[in-house]
Structure 1
Amino acid sequence: MISIKKQQPMDTNKHEVRKPFCTSCDLYDYLKFISITAMAFFLLACRSETQVTFDPVKLAQIDEAIEQAIAEEKTPGGIFWLEQKGERYVKAYGNMSLEPKVMATRIDAIYDAASITKIVATTTAMMLLFEQGKIEVDAPVSNYLDGFENGGKENITIKQLMTHTSGLRPVLPNTIEIDGVETDWRGYATAIAIAKSEKMQQAPGTKFVYSDINFILLGEIIQQVSGQQLQDYTREKIFHPLRMKDTGYLPSPILINRIAPTKWVDGKMLRGTANNPICRKTGGVHGHAGIFTTAADLARFARMILNKGELEGIRLLKPETVELMTSIQTPESMNELRGLGWDISTSYTNQRGTIFPIGGFGHTGFIGTSLWIDPFSETFVIVMCNRVHPDGTGDVLELRRQLGTLAAEAIKGFDFEGISGSK
């Protein structure tokens, strides 16, 4: 599991360093270690889990589509998870690593979640603070970040950051000008300073532009409002209560054999280090990326959302909060439909496929991860893969669309065409 470090006073310019587990233990700890190790070997052996109430023909087509993508080198492998009302089809495919050595995909593989971070960590944390009355979604960002109002940004709201309608550009620059010279920059504090000084590209609320900068700012707001570092707040308030034991920022080195690598950077294969370049420059913890997770943990999160904020007797969010963040929050004048953090229907919604109706919600991650939740049929679909491995050239856009369509077709006895807004 993600190792837990005792909370330290907040320093937004630094992020914690994970330490290996202690090597000394008493008899109880030793026996516990043995049982956990045995379970790990069992999980490694079990590369699929099926409780078949789905159409077996469509499940076979799902297998075929993924195997074809692997054969065409669009991804080295991955995990597919389809679940409806407790019934599930779960399977691991291909390899999680090709370089520097070949490793078959484990069912408990840990993946760089990339932008899935935006919903699992940042959006959820923001809504927890919203429930506590510490954040208002219609309030100006400048209420929470000193200096953000400079450059005419005083009217940008929290909601506009969360719906990508702030008017800010997509990503931070790789270099900044210092004394007339373009210079590389590093460090968390520098990233926040650059983000706060960004100039608007268009008036807020007038155009949808997907922007990592929006969520970099939201991550910093969480830290300022909560008084905790982002990795601590999300672990204590989200991942621990939901028993998402393998989810978090900065995974421990002890987990290295379970982590799917991404790509070569400066002669080193990234494994357990976020693939996102801004994360790599700034310590690995941000609101837009940096989380590592498993298919099983992401499934727990999806169940909580489908169950209106509650999982196994633990209430994380109020039902009305889940409804708020997963319903359309973009202006009626926009064709793009976004919730607070969640994607509903935009050019990024390829994982919905062609059958799940508008009204569901989800998100994708650059590495190849994706989640789609359909509340009408009480279904969710998870795809975990590292399509950028080993050289950054993989492409799973069409595969996501195929799998979304086939997943809906695999559900027996549900009339998607009868859902208002279906396409």
Structure 2
Amino acid sequence: MAELGFASPAEVGLCPVRLQRMLSILQADIDSGRLPGAVVLVARRGKVALFESLGQRDPAVAGAMRRDAIFRIYSMTKPVVSVAVMMLMEQGKLLLSDPVARFLPEFLNQKVAVERHGRLELEEASRPATVQDLLRHTAGLTYEFLGSAEVQQQYAKQKMGSRERSNADFSRVLASLPLMYQPGSVWEYSRATDVLGRLVEVVSGKSLGEYLRQHIFIPLGMRETGFAVAEADHARIAEPFAHDPDGGVPLRLLEPRRSTAMESGGGGLLSTAMDYARFLQFMRNRGELDGVRLLGPHTVDFMTSDHLGTIPVTDDVLPAGYGFGLGFAVRRAAGISSAPGSAGLYYWGGIAGTTFFVDPVEDLYAVLMIQAPNQRDHYRPLFRTLVYAALLD
């Protein structure tokens, strides 16, 4: 498997001085004790122009961050699982218009929770949730940490974030709970991609981890990506500060050193900056890498188009100026958003701080790997702003 090619920044229309300024800004935050460490990768025109590691891999032990450090990427798992679903679609094994219950019968006859006069009532779903609804987060599901509504409290009581139940058991428990919204009525960030992980298992006949390994990771040369880290590689795992430097509520990060019953399609993968860059180059190539094609070009275009239209968005997880495709947030216009970017840009990130974006107009993609959960809302737009500041043409 060929490695991604490298070029100097100037060769691909990036300013080396401005890229260095980005590294200096991150290094200053490392020196001040706000950020433990980072791995930064910026690529344009199919070539990696910047690939650097900064700071510490683990603040609790001595040792510099490595470019091959392994990060908990959390929701950056979602685009990968969405690609798996679209591969199954291209094989004729499912349609996006199929009801979820066709594959997961526990989702038959779902009820929607409605609060009336201070009481929770259940009403019939106006239509079944579809595979497309799961991919674009319009299936009526939610996340327990996004609020304190009755349905979210039920998610919390049932410990829907637990990794100690199998994907099959997760799906059955989630399906037994009421929906937060009518399917197709709103965009609500949710556990939908965890459901897609179970759907992949049922349709393919393989565990999610095995399907991803055989059909995505091996073909794309993503040798360092999976749901657990082998013991020989434990010394490469990036860690956060033990105590949050901004005084925020500490988040207990997943333990990557052991396998768990649940392989979370919504947030369970571990990866490296270069492995994820290979995935992004595959996407930028519209479904192909090193002569290996996993998706048709038009399928990639379809995934990275807006699938919301006029469907309203419930919260600020999806920023102004963006719609949502099939696994990715998609920029609708060059303006509106407070961060720079072209119409058609797509991106996502993980709750521990990792983030990426792909800009087809500029033939540009970039990955920032950090383990700083409570600082993520600062570093995502900062990283994007500094990368775009380095564009020269």
Instruction: State the TM bucket, normalised to the shorter chain.
Output: 0.7 to 0.9
Partner of 1:170: 143
Structure 1 residues 186 and 251: alpha-carbon distance in aligned structure 2, compared to 1, 3 A threshold: closer
Q: Is the 8 A contact 1:117 1:290 kept in 2?
A: yes
**Alignment deviations for residues 311-332 of structure 1 (CA, whole Å, 9 cap, x no partner):** 1111111101101111111133
Q: Choose the corresponding residue for 2:324, options 334, 338, 359.
A: 338
* Whole-angstrom CA distance in 1 between matches of 2:392 and 2:226: 35
- 1:345-388 per-position Cα deviation (integer Å, ceiling 9, x unaligned): 49xxxxx9722123110110011111100000110010001114
Give the aligned residue type for 1:401. P
Structure 2: distance between partners of 1:102 and 1:269? 21
Residue in 1 aligned with 2:105? Answer: 146
| 1:65-102 deviation per Cα after TM superposition (whole angstroms, max 9, x unaligned) | 21233244432011111110114111111011012x23
TM score, norm. by length of structure 1: 0.74
Question: Residue 248 of structure 1 corresponds to which residue in structure 2?
Answer: 226
Equivalent in the alignment of 2:8 = 51
SS of residue matched to 1:80: strand
The answer to whether the 8 A contact 1:195-1:216 is kept is no
Contact residue 228 and residue 256 of structure 2 kept, 8 A: yes
Output the CA distance in 1 between the equivalents of 2:163 and 2:220.
37
Change (3 A) 1:251 1:326: same
Residues of 2 paired with 1:149 and 1:410: CA distance? 51
Are the equivalent residues in 2 in contact too, given 1:250–1:285 (CA < 8 A)? no
1:38-69 Cα distance to aligned partner (Å, 9 max, x none): xxxxxxxxxxx872212133113201221233
Q: Which residue of 2 aligns with 1:365?
A: 350
2:174 is aligned to 195
Identity %: 28
1:107-126 to structure 2, matched below 5 A, reads 107-120=67-80, 122-126=81-85
User: What are the residue-to-residue correspondences of 1:25-104 with 2, within 5 Å?
Assistant: 51-53=8-10, 54-85=14-45, 86-99=47-60, 101-104=61-64
TM-superposed deviation, 1:271:
5.2
| 1:266-277 correspondence runs (5 A) | 272-273=256-257
1:150-299 alignment runs, 5 A limit: 150-152=109-111, 153=125, 155-171=128-144, 173-176=155-158, 186-188=164-166, 189-211=168-190, 213-262=191-240, 272-273=256-257, 283-299=261-277
**Contact kept? 2:213, 2:226, Cα under 8 Å:** yes
Give the conservation status (yes or no) of the 8 Å contact 1:175–1:185. no
For residues 91-145 of structure 1, the C-alpha deviation after alignment (integer angstroms, 9 at most, x for no partner) is 111011012x23210011111111101112x101101101001111121111110
Q: Distance in 2 between matches of 1:205 and 1:72?
A: 46
| Secondary structure of the corresponding residue to residue 78 of structure 1 | strand
Q: Contact conserved, 2:163 with 2:262, CA < 8 A, in 1? A: no
Pair 334,345 (structure 1): closer, same or farther in 2 beyond 3 Å = farther
Distance 1:270 1:305 in 2: 27
8 A contact 2:41–2:48 mirrored in 1: no
Q: Report the number of matched residues.
A: 338
- Cα distance between partner residues in 1 of 2:163 and 2:24: 45
Residues 299, 237 of structure 1: alpha-carbon distance in 2 compared, 3 angstrom cutoff: same
User: In structure 2, what is the equivalent of residue 13 of structure 1?
Assistant: none
Query: Is residue 303 of structure 2 the alignment partner of residue 325 of structure 1?
Result: yes
- Contact residue 129 and residue 135 of structure 1 kept, 8 A: yes
Matched-pair contact (CA < 8 Å) for 2:70–2:270:
yes
Q: Distance in 2 between matches of 1:333 and 1:185?
A: 32
Find the residue that maps to 2:298 and give its secondary structure.
helix
Letter in 2 for 1:272: P
Secondary structure at the counterpart of residue 383 of structure 1: strand
Check whether the contact 1:263–1:269 (CA below 8 A) recurs between aligned residues: no
1:138–1:157: 8 Å Cα contact kept in structure 2?
yes
Structure 1: distance between partners of 2:242 and 2:214: 33
1:313 aligns with 2:316: no
Specify the SS of the correspondent of 2:24.
Answer: helix
Instruction: Provide structure 2 residue ranges, at least 5 long, that are not aligned to the other structure.
Output: 1-5, 112-124, 145-151, 244-251, 314-321
RMSD over aligned Cα, in angstroms? 2.5
Whether contact under 8 Å (1:52, 1:89) holds in the other structure is yes
Indicate the residue corresponding to 1:410 in structure 2: 390
Distance 1:186 1:312, change over 3 A: closer
